[in-house]
Amino acid sequence: MLDVSDLRFVTALSTAPSLAAAARTLGVTPPAVSQRLALLEDRLHLRLIERGRGQLRLTAEGAYLVDRAKGVLDDIESLAEDMSARAGRIDGPLHVIAPFGFGRLRVAPVLTRFGEENPELRPMLSLREDPVGAMNDGLWDVLVHVGRLPNLRITQRKLAPNRRLLVASADYAGRVGLPQKPQDMAAHRVGVVRENQADASLWPLTGPDGIEMNLRVQPVYSCNDGEVLRAWALDGFGIVERSEWSISADLRAGRLVRVLPDWSLPDADIVALLNPRAVRSLRIDKFVERLTAEISAMPMA
């Protein structure tokens, strides 16, 4: 009577603002959704979704169906996972969320290779400006984040250490000179990565003797893409605070030099989060394992 595809269909509908929207996410035309819903309702002799005046609304029966459907779907999917794990197979969909810069430059290559090695895997990499905000969407397996997240029930697996460094181009250092103490910063042009709600222009510095101080800077340039800011620094426009993973190659090559090397900012270790709501699977474990190995081994290039 009821089929898994019916349950999937109706749960997909339940989160869509309109049938047309559902059609788009399902990758079919609106009539397909409309008539399939009508057919299902006929079959059950029940109205599932009230679709008058604009907004979709689940009826009581629809809501009940969706609710129970989620349970059944979870169950059968976890069963499929179990079977796949018993076969020692790495297959199925793997949703990874990562921040823009790090995701593109560090996670993507690993995921791509992992996908090539396991032809039945269907990797999906979603680069977000705000990975943490995407957490509650539910549809992800692994979330990579730069910087430990406080106040989380989810266990965070450390992929690699990562410091935040103040840097400027060698050219800038030669032309303008570098600050020798935090207070000198005010005389310099500063760029910051303004990602989430955190106050990017307040730097909690720790000095050589363990002295702590909060330095308020007046950024002349801000961007939510660290790579843009790195380029800005490489072009000699000013001093930026940047993750070690991003600019260590530049440091080694001498394109960038550290600013106030005796002062440090809080570490922003790279961590991976596993979605507690997702079914645990072999592919997830193996991928995180791989990620840990490769990210740690990366020459911070």
With CB cut-offs between 5 and 8 Å by kind, which of its own copies, DNA, none does residue 53 bind? DNA
Quick one: which segment of 49-57, 108-116, 118-126, 152-160 binds DNA (CB under 7 A)? Answer: 49-57
Stretch that binds DNA, among 22-30, 165-173, 186-194, 227-235 (CB under 7 A): 22-30
CB 170 within 8 A of CB 228: no
Measure Cα distances from 213 to 157, 182, 202, 206 in Å.
29, 9, 10, 6
Binding partner selected for residue 31 from DNA, its own copies, none, CB under the kind-specific 5 to 8 Å limit: DNA
The verdict on 31 binding DNA (CB under 7 A) reads yes
CB atoms within 10 A of CB 271: 21
Q: Is residue 46 within 8 Å of 19, Cβ to Cβ?
A: no
Phi-psi region of 13 (alpha: psi -120 to 50; beta: other; left: phi over 0): alpha
Which of DNA, its own copies, none sits in contact with 87, Cβ below 5 to 8 A by type? its own copies
Which of 32, 44, 108, 173 touches DNA by CB under 7 A?
A: 32
Among 30, 258, 280, 290, binds DNA (CB under 7 A): 30
Are 143 and 272 in contact by the 8 Å Cβ rule? The answer is yes
Structure tokens at 283: 């592919």
Question: Residue 64: phi, psi to the nearest 5?
Answer: -60, -45
Q: Indicate the residue among 4 and 198 with the shorter CB distance to its own copies.
A: 4
Smallest distance, its own copies to C-beta of residue 209, A: 60
Does 1 sit near DNA (CB under 7 A)? no
Footprint of DNA on residues 54-73 (CB under 7 A)?
54, 56
Quick one: which of 64, 118, 127 has its CA closest to 95?
A: 127
Q: Which CB, 38 or 198, lies closer to DNA?
A: 38
Q: Is 13 in the site for DNA (CB under 7 A)?
A: no
The CA-based angle 286-266-250, given to 5 degrees, is 75
Find the part of the chain contacting DNA (CB under 7 A) among 48-56, 198-206, 224-232, 236-244.
Answer: 48-56
DSSP character string of 95-110: EEEEEHHHIIIIIHHH
Taking contact as CB under 7 A, which single stretch among the options 35-43, 148-156, 236-244, 280-288 is the one that binds DNA? 35-43
User: Where do contacts with its own copies occur on this chain (CB under 8 A)?
Assistant: 1-5, 7, 44-46, 61, 64-65, 68-69, 71-72, 75-77, 79-80, 82-84, 86-87, 89, 92
β 239-243/190-193 pair status: parallel
53 lies in the binding site for DNA (CB under 7 A): yes
User: Using CA atoms, how far apart are residues 55 and 16, in angstroms rounded to an integer?
Assistant: 10
Q: Tokens for 164?
A: 């935040």
| 47 forms part of the interface with DNA (CB under 7 A) | no
CA angle 171, 173, 177 (to 5 degrees): 140
Sites of contact with DNA (CB under 7 A): 3, 5, 18-21, 26-32, 34-39, 51, 53-54, 56
